[in-house]
Amino acid sequence: MGIAIEPLGRQHDRAAFSCRQSALDDWFHRRAGQDQKRNVARVFVAVDDQHGVVGFYSLSSFTLVIDDLPDEIARKLPRYDTIPAALIGRLARDQKVRGQGIGELLLADAVRRILSASRSLAVFAIVVDAKDDHAVAFYEDFGFRRFPTRPSRLFLPTSTAAAALARAAD
Measure Cα distances from 45 to 3, 92, 122, 168 in Å. Answer: 10, 10, 25, 24
Residue 52 has pLDDT above 80, yes or no: yes
Q: Mean pLDDT, the chain, as a whole number?
A: 93
* 35 band by pLDDT with thresholds 50, 70 and 90: very high
> Can you give the pTM of this predicted structure?
0.93
Q: What is the pLDDT of residues 103-133, one digit of tens each?
A: 999 999 999 999 999 999 999 999 999 999 9
Measure Cα distances from 134 to 8, 14, 138, 141 in Å. Answer: 26, 24, 6, 11
Q: What percent of the chain has pLDDT over 70?
A: 98
Which amino acid, 169? A
Instruction: Name the residue with higher pLDDT: 163 or 7.
Output: 7
Contact predicate 72/66, CB 8 Å: no
Angstrom distance (rounded) from CA 51 to CA 96 = 8
